Amino acid sequence: MPVDFEASESWSEQLVAAGFDSRLPAVVVSTGVTMYLTKDATTATLRQLAGLAAGSTLAMDVPSVDRTSRRRRSLRASESGARAAGTPFISFYTPPEMLTLARQADFGGHYLSAVSCDGTAGHLSR
């Protein structure tokens, strides 16, 4: 289901229209997304996710902000490729920063696991 997160589309309404039962807990996996979104779009997405049934789980990756050692070369190559394809990376978060955004979005009754490419992780649960 294509969604333009920056255009404030309600992907949750599209899911319900496709038969998703929003009264039941859900598992949502979001990988390779946050680096392409502005902070406002990421926050709006987290707010929509916070509206899922209690007990829902979000698992996501966040691009590593570790720009040292060998990861710097890999990240530069990824950023360059994304930019050349017309989809530049916009945002970088650490797992704790993503958890702060989730708390600000009232992500209360859910479980969130945010893992970065460098292996650091953060978890938020009720």
Strands 111-116 and 57-62: parallel
Q: pTM score > 0.85 for this model? A: no
- Could you tell me which of 101, 12, 126, 104 has the C-alpha nearest to residue 114? 101
Q: What is the pLDDT of residue 21?
A: 93
Q: Where are the beta strands (DSSP E) in the chain?
A: 27-30, 57-62, 111-116, 121-124
As a dihedral over the C-alpha atoms of residue 24, residue 2, residue 6, residue 8, rounded to 10 degrees, the angle is -50
Q: What is the pLDDT of residue 55?
A: 84
Q: What is the pLDDT of residues 106-119, one digit of tens each?
A: 876 666 676 666 56
The segments of the chain whose pLDDT lies below 70 read 8-9, 64-72, 108-112, 114-126
Q: What is the pLDDT of residue 12?
A: 82
Strands 111-116 and 121-124: antiparallel
